[in-house]
Homo-oligomer: A and B are copies of this chain.
Amino acid sequence: MLALFAYLGTGVFAVSGALAAARKSFDLLGIVVIAFVTAIGGGTVRDLLLDRHPIFWVREPRIGWVILGSAFLTLLFIRFRKPPKRALLYADALGLALFTISGAQIAEGFGLPALTIVMMATITGSAGGVLRDVLSAEVPLLFRQTELYATASIAGTAGYLLLESLGVDREAAAWMGMTLVAALRFTAIRYGLKLPVFQVPG
């Protein structure tokens, strides 16, 4: 079931990348590249930082086909209809939840301290979107306009680690952590919650 979820998360991230690239009038190749980067960027950065080889999508080549399929279906779909914005946002939140907690569990397997686990979990969930924006020469959405995107990852991972340290079963803690990520993100989208910005004087 988690494997199915992982493919689903990958597919949703690929769709969001393909849509962002198509909106910027990238050509077919650009759309496919951005779909790939969005979907596998976070896990790739995590695996490189942890020296975890072969990298997850090198080990599991079906991921590439899921992304290619998702990108082509997206292009087919937008020839006929508007993309369902809200549905995609919610699906993306599920992908974020899954990627975050799976990133946390991988980092846990390396015996890292809590702060480093939180960083790796957040990178797994968010770095793909940051790379998508960097490759589009845009300021990453993550840094200023999102409704608690990476923040939901951080809180969910912290919740997961806290529950584990309180003796909660690992799988149950993972489900609760994922629920926390998704719930925070849903709530933030629904009510437009954002983090504060700061003025620099002078």
Given contacts A64-B115, A135-B130, contact A197 B26 (CB under 8 A): yes
Which residue on B lies nearest to A114, using beta carbons? B61
Do the beta carbons of A27 and B115 come within 8 Å of each other?
no
Do the beta carbons of B29 and A195 come within 8 Å of each other?
yes
Which residue on B lies nearest to A79, using beta carbons? B198
Chain A 137-156 interface 0/1 with B at a Cβ cutoff of 8 Å (1 = within) = 11110111000001100100
8 Å CB contact of A28 from B31, B44, B50, B196: B196
Chain A residues within 8 Å of B, Cβ to Cβ: 19, 21-31, 33-34, 36, 44, 48-51, 53-55, 57-58, 61, 64-65, 68, 75, 78-79, 81-83, 112-113, 115-116, 119, 130, 133-140, 142-144, 150-151, 154, 194-202
Copies in the complex: 3
21 contacts between A and B (CB under 8 A): A22-B199, A24-B143, A27-B196, A28-B197, A29-B150, A29-B154, A29-B195, A31-B198, A34-B143, A48-B48, A58-B112, A61-B113, A61-B115, A78-B198, A78-B200, A79-B198, A130-B135, A134-B134, A135-B140, A135-B143, A136-B143
Contacts of A140 in B (CB 8 A): 30, 135, 137
Contacts of A44 in B (CB 8 A): 49
